[in-house]
Structure 1
Amino acid sequence: MEINISVSAPVVSVKPVVLSAPGRGEDLQVRVSAPAVGSELPIIVFSHGFGWSLDGYGPLADYWAAHGFVVIQPTHLDSRTLNLAPEDPRTPRIWRFRVEDLKRILDQLDLIEASVPGLSGRLDRSRIAAAGHSWGGQTVSMLLGARVLDNNGEPGEDMSDSRIKAGVLLATTGKGGADLSPFAAEHFPFMNPSFAEMSTPTLVVAGDHDQSRLSTRGPDWFTDPYFLSPGRKSLLTLFGAEHSLGGISGYSVAETTDESPERVGLIQRLTLAYLRNALDLEDSSWPAARAALEESVIPLGRIESK
C-alpha cells in the first residue's frame, strides 16, 4: 500500500530531561525527540505500556519525529527500570500518577523546550496530541475525556485536558465490570472506564487477534473506545495483529508475538496522516491514506469512521 508521506528529517533526541515531581517519590524523566529542522512543530506526548520506559517505542517515536513532530516520552512509575515494589503505597494509584505524568509534561513545556539544544522557539503549543499503547492507551484516554467508574458505577474525576487536541489509542482496553477476567477485576479495579465523555477526536487502533487474559471477551474488547465514545472517531482494525501490533514497542523486542514490519509501517504512516489531519496541519493525507488502504490488493486492515 502506497501512502505519500513527506521526506524524513534528521532527528535530535535528548534523555533524560528531568522534571520535578513533588509527591511522586521520583522525579519524572522524559525523552524528547524532535526534527533537527523546522518551526511551529506540533507535539505528541506518548504513554508507554506496562513495564516500559522512555526508551521504548522507537518505531513510532523516531518516525513521528522524523516527519515533523516533537515526541515526548515519560517513564511512568510502573517501569521495570524503577522496580517499584508491589507493596509500595504508590502502587494502587499508579494509574493516577500516569495521568499526572502527562499533565506535568504539558505544565513544564518551557523547561522541556529549554533542555533540548536548538529547540527553543520551535514548538506549536496549540497543536498537541497524546498517544499511548495498552495501559498507556488507558492513561491517554483519561486526558481525552474517559473516566474511571467507581464501585457503584458512577463516573469518577474528570481528568481530561483541553490542551490535548487529538489522540491515538493503540491496543487500548475496553469496558470493565463483567467484561473483566477475575484476575483483572481483583488486581486492576481502575480498569473500569466509561468512554461516554471521551469526545476528543481520536484514532483507535485494534488488532483482530488481540486476545487478552484481562477480559472475558475476544479481540473486539479493544474496539470499545471507538464504539462507546461520542464525537469524531476513527477505528483502524489490523488483520492478524496481536497486542504488540506487529512490534511497535521496539525494533527487536522479545515479547512481540506477531512480528510484522509491514504492519508497523502501516501504523506509522496512518497515525502520521491521521494526526496531521486532526491537528489541522493539512487535510489531504488522511483521506488519501484511507483510500490507499481500501484499494490494496491484500489489505492489512480496514478503517471506519464516525
Structure 2
Amino acid sequence: MFTPAQHRTIAVKPIIVPTEGRDFELQLKVTAPVEGVGLPVIVFSHGNAWSMDGYEPLVDRWTAAGFVVVQPTHLDSRRFGIGFDDPRFGTIWRVRIADLHGVLDHLGHVMEQAGLTGRIDASRVALVGHSWGAQTVGALLGARVLDDSGKPGEDFSRKGITAGVLIAATGTGDTLTPFAAEHLSFMRPDYSTMSAPALVIAGETDQSKMSTRGPDWFLDAYHLSPGPKQLMVVPDGEHTLGGVAGEAVAETTDADPARVALVADAVSAYLFEALDVRDGAWSAFGGATETGRRAVLERKD
C-alpha cells in the first residue's frame, strides 16, 4: 500500500470567503503541513449534511502526505437546517458549485488568512468530493445536469483544474427512486463532457437508496466520461468506504480504518502523479488492503 510521509499538521478555521446571493456566509477550514513550500492543494467538497469539520480521516492523511486541504461548508450542512422540504433546497446544488468557484477565485485570500502565503503552488490545485460533493466536483470538471427533457444544462467547468477525484459519485439514467426524483432531481449528471483528468472511486457493494440500480450506478462517472480517467473499485466498500467522513459516525455502515486508508492513499498517489509532484506515484500504487484483497484498478486514455 502507498504510505504517505508523516508531516506534522495545523488547521485554521473559520476562514470567510466573500460571496453574493448566499443565505449564510461561506466558511471553510484549511489544514496544512507545518513545514514545506510549493505545496499542492486539495479543495474538498463534502457529502450531504456534512461540513468543514468532517472527513478528518481523509484530511489528516492527505496533509500528512504534504497537501494543503481546503474544506468549505456548503448550505446543505445540517448546521444550517435547510432540509429537503425547504424551498431553498432545490437550488443548493448550484450554490455548491458556486462555493467551489468562490474558493478558487479567492484562493490567495484563503491562504493569507491561513498564514500560508508563499507556501502553496497555485498551479497544482485539485478538486476532490464525496457523494454529493463528487457530483459538485464533477461539474467543475465538465459534467452537466440533465433537465426533465434530458437536455444538458449549464456548463460550470473551471479552466486550469489539472485533476479531480470523484468518490462515490452519483450515477446517471432515469433510475432515481420516487423520493430522489422529487427532492433531488439534479441527480441526473451528464458525464459525456467531463473531459478533465480524474480518478473515480466506487465501493464494490455500494447500494444507493437514491437509485434502483445496483453498485454499478457509481461507475457511470468513469464509464460514461471521456479519458483520461482512472477507476478504483474498493473491495467490500459501501457508500462511506470504511468511514471516510469520520470514525464511528452514524452514516458509516462498513467501518474499516484500513479501507479509509486505502481511499486516502489512492487519492494522494493519483494526485501526486497527476499534478506532477512525484513521477510514477499512481503507477506504483498497488491498491492492496491490509487483508490482502486488491482494489480493482482500470484506466482509459
Alignment TM class, shorter chain as reference? over 0.9
User: Which residue does 1:8 correspond to in 2?
Assistant: 6
User: Which residue does 1:200 correspond to in 2?
Assistant: 196
Shift of 1:150: 1.3
User: Which residue does 1:125 correspond to in 2?
Assistant: 122
Identify the match of residue 64 of structure 1 among 62, 65, 72.
62
Give the percent of matched residue pairs that are identical in Structure 1 and Structure 2. Answer: 51
Identify the match of residue 267 of structure 1 among 263, 274, 279.
263
Shift of 1:293: 3.5
DSSP 3-state at the match of 2:283 = helix
Aligned length: 300
User: Which residue does 1:303 correspond to in 2?
Assistant: 297
Equivalent residue letter for 1:244: T
The whole-number CA distance in structure 2 between the counterparts of 1:175 and 1:15 is 36
Given that 1:183 and 1:214 are in contact with CA atoms closer than 8 Å, whether structure 2 keeps it comes out as yes
Shift of 1:298: 2.5
Given that 1:244 and 1:256 are in contact with CA atoms closer than 8 Å, whether structure 2 keeps it comes out as yes
Identify the match of residue 168 of structure 1 among 162, 165, 170.
165
Q: Which runs of 5+ in 2 are unaligned?
A: none
Equivalent residue letter for 2:72: P
Identify the match of residue 140 of structure 1 among 137, 142, 167.
137
TM-score by length of 2: 0.96
TM-score by length of 1: 0.94
User: Which residue does 2:17 correspond to in 1?
Assistant: 19
Where does 1:1-306 land on structure 2 (aligned, <5 Å)? 2-3=1-2, 5-86=3-84, 88-117=86-115, 119-177=116-174, 179-290=175-286, 293=288, 298-306=292-300
Given that 2:90 and 2:183 are in contact with CA atoms closer than 8 Å, whether structure 1 keeps it comes out as no
Shift of 1:22: 1.7
Given that 1:132 and 1:170 are in contact with CA atoms closer than 8 Å, whether structure 2 keeps it comes out as yes
The whole-number CA distance in structure 2 between the counterparts of 1:134 and 1:28 is 20
The whole-number CA distance in structure 1 between the counterparts of 2:20 and 2:268 is 34
Equivalent residue letter for 2:133: G
Q: CA RMSD of the aligned region, Å?
A: 1.6
Residues 133-192 of structure 1, C-alpha deviations (whole Å, 9 max, x = no match)? 111111111011100011221111000101321111111110032x21222111111111
Given that 1:293 and 1:302 are in contact with CA atoms closer than 8 Å, whether structure 2 keeps it comes out as no
Q: Which runs of 5+ in 1 are unaligned?
A: none
